[in-house]
Amino acid sequence: MTLQEHAAQTAATKDITTASFRQDVIAESMSQPVLVDFWAPWCGPCKQLAPALERAVSSSKGRVRLTKMNIDDHPQIAGQLGIQSIPAVIAFDKGQPIDGFVGALPESQITDFIERLVGKLPGGTKELLEAAAALVEVGDVPQAMEAYGNVLLEDPGNTAAIGALARLYIDAGNMDAAKGYLESVPADREKDPEIVAARAALDLAEQASSIGDLGALEAAISANPNDYQSRFDLAVALAAAGDQERAVDALIEIVKRDRAWNDDGARKQLIQFFEAWGPMDEMTKAGRRKLSALLFR
């Protein structure tokens, strides 16, 4: 981002008060959507959200406005809207609150939120990310890496691109490159889902690299079904090889037989699988159902 772009972005973000709310939000929203970011100086997630929110609003090219209200100084509006935790962002249109979210969402999800208000945004990092993901889908990894690299040229802290590049290098067996990208993550973005998933995938790949022949592990389990270490190692190796269902089932079997084994290690490893695969992955959903059915029967 150039200095001029940063200045324009900062100018587009307006601090508001209880007294100015009617003019700065209600009246302004008659002509375009206005976002109100409710925050406080002591709120860590608020500081994490702010730059991503400002970038996403800036990419709308003026189709939405951003305002900020410090609830420590001006608690009345937040109270009237029933806001109980921050950061909270409420969108106003035609004088009415129409949508919102709570928490420090990643920039991609904030962009999705804005697009629900004003329609698809032209250009920007979102389209570059979509193009890169499409290249991954068709197996063109070199071009996908270049596309994600272009995202980082425009937005060096973009965790969606960092996480995706790290995953591609993990899949290619280049752990050092993956670690290098993950080390570039800004400290306040470490908990972004793309980074959590990439770190979990890296840990999983490093675990799997030290595991021996699958056939030997399967033979050990066949000879002794209570050989939990072999069953655990098999699960890790299967997950690294992409056999998610068998990996989940192997760990579920350990939990079923001996939940306390290795300090609840099988359940903890399942959670790492789910983090690596992401919450929307079908095997994450299926695995969580299996685990819940076992733990809460």
Burial of 194 (0-12, 13-18, 19+ CB in 10 A): buried
Average pLDDT over residues 211-239: 91
Question: Among the CATH numbers 3.30.10.20, 3.40.30.10, 3.90.380.10, 2.102.10.10, which is that of 3-118?
Answer: 3.40.30.10
Confirm whether 3-118 and 211-295 share one CATH topology: no
- Please choose, from the candidates 54, 102, 95, the residue with its C-alpha nearest in 3D space to the C-alpha of residue 78: 102
Domain map (residue ranges) of the chain: 3-118, 124-192, 211-295
If you average pLDDT over each of 24-28, 110-114, 202-206, which comes out highest?
Answer: 24-28
Q: 122 falls in which pLDDT band (50, 70, 90)?
A: low
Average pLDDT over residues 191-215: 86
**What would the pLDDT profile of 232-259 be if each residue is shown by its tens digit?**
999 999 988 889 999 999 999 999 999 9
Residue scoring higher pLDDT (3 or 91) = 91
Q: How much is the pLDDT for 129?
A: 86
Q: How much is the pLDDT for 84?
A: 87
44/219 Cα distance (integer angstroms): 51
Flag whether pLDDT at 120 surpasses 90.
Answer: no
Residue scoring higher pLDDT (202 or 2) = 202
**What would the pLDDT profile of 80-105 be if each residue is shown by its tens digit?**
988 989 999 999 999 999 999 999 98
Q: Determine the Cα angle at 125 with ends 119 and 129, to 5°.
A: 95
Domain 211-295 has CATH 1.25.40.10: yes
Flag whether pLDDT at 4 surpasses 70.
Answer: no
Q: Which residues are catalytic?
A: 43, 46
C-alpha distance from residue 170 to each of 10, 40, 206, 271 (Å): 37, 39, 9, 19
**What would the pLDDT profile of 123-159 be if each residue is shown by its tens digit?**
667 778 888 989 988 989 999 999 898 888 877 888 9
- Please choose, from the candidates 98, 95, 99, the residue with its C-alpha nearest in 3D space to the C-alpha of residue 109: 99
Q: How much is the pLDDT for 123?
A: 60
Question: Model pTM?
Answer: 0.54
Q: How much is the pLDDT for 157?
A: 82
Strand partners, 101: 89
Range scoring the smallest mean pLDDT among 28-32, 60-64, 70-74, 112-116: 60-64
CATH superfamily, with its number, for domain 124-192? Tetratricopeptide repeat domain (1.25.40.10)
